[in-house]
Amino acid sequence: MTKKILILPGDGIGPEVMGEVERIIDWFNKERGLGAETERDLVGGCAYDAHGQAVSDATMAKAQEADAVLLGAVGGPKWDGVPFDVRPEAGLLRLRKDLELFANLRPALCFPALADASSLKRELVEGLDIMIVRELTGGVYFGEPRGIEDLPNGERRGFDTQVYSTHEVQRIGRVAFDLARKRGNRVTSVEKRNVMHSGVFWHEEMVKLHKAEFSDVTLDHMLADNCGMQLVKQPKQFDVIVTDNLFGDMLSDVAAMLTGSLGMLPSASLGGKDANGKAKALYEPVHGSAPDIAGQGLANPLATILSFAMALRYTFDLSADADLLEKAAETVLAEGYRTGDIMQPGMKKVGTKQMGDAVLAALTKL
């Protein structure tokens, strides 16, 4: 069966880093029989320029059809003045919402060759391999009621609502426990049940789910503020962290800094399974469109390449191929290849294309 991949390079450095991924997909088609069929389309500012919408209905239909969507990055100063509902980021939000991508997977993996780029000491991060699973479609970013209102006494107030229901906690919990089974078999569920009702509820539902379906996995619990502290103090204690939208937003950014560079961080957003058991999925680097270096061939393509490795693992179930690609990235770093963002003294400075070449050479050698 052919595998359909929709490629949405987006704006800024998006098309540059995605160009390297397309060469890598070709390599997997030729050398490993991947059988992927790719199609390119527009998202973000470039889509707004073309048809006044950050993502068109036609593109959305293709995204619904595809087995996996690979996205580069969207946005840039060119579109600063465009109306809120058609701004480049609106394209990303529509993709997440319409594909019901409720699980955001953010690995924090420290490559040995880059351990000195971490905000922490080498011994704390060398060999680090954490997976943060963030709930992406619920919680306080979406809960009703929300708003800003005038009060009779002349004051104003702003408010948001943190709300989770059983099925929302259960489905994100299942993603986390399933992942843990393929990794270190440990899940840390993070909330603030000491001060939040939704935290008490989250904790209760995780305990129930664990007991009913995943008692072979170790489950522990941590308050979100302590988790932030522990990530910085002793990050290697974690395997899989599962948490809500807000805490996940913050904790995944903290974890990102443990690994060194923004240009190295992949992500996956997974949705529910359809009638054929197929989950929608979108893979993208964590970084943005980097307008400061766009169009110069300087961007680090590794985060986008590693996002494609996640697609091999999670959508196509090809973990040997995913391992191979991750190993190739590790190899080029060990060989000393560095784009500007991860440059260190004595290393070989390369651009986007040469980094892609190095990964392809490593794939062929491995």
**Residue from 341, 350, 360, 362 binding ligand NAI (CB under 6 A):** 341
Q: Residue 9 Cβ, how far from ligand NAI at the closest point, in Å?
A: 11
**Residue 289 binding ligand NAI, by CB under 6 A:** yes
HSE-up of residue 193 (Cα within 13 Å, Cβ side): 12
Judged by CB, which is closer to Mg ion: 59, or 267? Answer: 267
Cα separations (Å) of 159 from 55, 119, 196?
Answer: 30, 34, 15
**Residue 65 binding ligand NAI, by CB under 6 A:** no
- The secondary structure of 313-343 as a DSSP string is HHTS--HHHHHHHHHHHHHHHHTTEE-GGG-
Residue 162 identity (one-letter amino acid): Q
Q: Is 49 a catalytic residue?
A: no
Chain position carrying tokens 């922490």:
120
Total of chain residues touching Mg ion, rule CB under 5 A: 1
Residue 16 dihedral angles phi and psi, to the nearest 5°: -70, -50
| Marked catalytic residue, from 97, 253, 274, 278 | 253
Site pattern 233..272 for Mg ion (x: CB under 5 A): ----------------x-----------------------
| Marked catalytic residue, from 129, 160, 178, 249 | 249
**Residue from 42, 70, 74, 312 binding ligand NAI (CB under 6 A):** 74
**Residue 300 binding ligand NAI, by CB under 6 A:** yes
Chain position carrying tokens 């399933």:
178
**Residue from 293, 322, 333, 355 binding ligand NAI (CB under 6 A):** 293
Q: Cα-Cα-Cα-Cα dihedral of 330, 336, 337, 338, to 10°?
A: 100
**Residue from 31, 292, 344, 348 binding ligand NAI (CB under 6 A):** 292
Judged by CB, which is closer to ligand NAI: 209, or 358? Answer: 358
Judged by CB, which is closer to ligand NAI: 213, or 330? Answer: 330
Q: Which residues are annotated as a binding site for NAD(+)?
A: 76-89, 288-300
CA distance 357 to 63: 29
Would you say 36 and 98 are in contact if contact means Cβ atoms under 8 Å apart? Answer: no
Chain position carrying tokens 């073309």:
50
Residues with catalytic roles = 141, 192, 225, 249, 253
